């Protein structure tokens, strides 16, 4: 089981404060820093064959076939780690993020990745 933990300090955006590995840290930064609560450009990119990816301020999301590749734009690694997930799993994560996080604004969010599925747990 892998995880990323995000907190929203008083009157501030989410920050990824802990991750079980580099890939989950990349995902935490993608959601907290680039997606925030605007999932639509990402979903549009995934649905439209004219687009190969979507770049944010901190991460880049690219697609190839049924897969999504997420990379940290500021990685200090010689070969940056890519988080590779199925496109349909990533789309479901974006929908869950919108429903559970953006609509309710919990103070704490934990994203769990287990057996190629994401679960979002929240606390106020």
What residues contact residue 19 under an 8 Å CB cut-off, 6+ apart?
2, 3, 4, 5, 25, 27, 28
Q: Which tokens is 72 given?
A: 């940290």
User: To 10 degrees, what angle do helices 40-47 and 87-96 make?
Assistant: 160
Q: What is the pTM of this model?
A: 0.94
**Span 106-113, average pLDDT:** 97
Residue 10: predicted pLDDT = 80
Q: Is the pLDDT of residue 18 over 80?
A: yes
Residue 72: partners with Cβ closer than 8 Å, 6 or more residues away: 22, 25, 26, 29, 58, 59, 80, 81
Give 9's pLDDT tier (boundaries 50, 70, 90). confident
Domain ranges of the chain: 2-123
Q: Which tens digits make up the pLDDT trace of 29-78? A: 999 999 999 999 999 999 999 999 999 999 999 999 999 999 999 999 99
CB 76 within 8 A of CB 70: no
The predicted model gives 4-22 an average pLDDT of: 93
């Amino acid at each position: 089981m892998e995880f990323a933990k995000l907190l929203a300090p008083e009157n501030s955006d989410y920050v990824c404060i802990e991750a079980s590995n580099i890939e989950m840290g990349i995902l935490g930064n993608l959601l907290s820093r680039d997606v925030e609560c605007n999932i639509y450009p990402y979903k549009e990119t995934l649905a439209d064959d004219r687009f190969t990816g979507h770049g944010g301020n901190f991460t880049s999301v690219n697609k190839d076939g049924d897969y999504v590749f997420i990379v940290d734009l500021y990685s200090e690694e010689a070969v940056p780690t890519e988080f590779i997930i199925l496109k349909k799993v990533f789309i479901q994560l974006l929908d869950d993020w919108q429903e559970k996080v953006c609509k309710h604004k919990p103070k704490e969010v934990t994203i769990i990745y287990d057996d190629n599925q994401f679960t979002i747990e929240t606390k106020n």
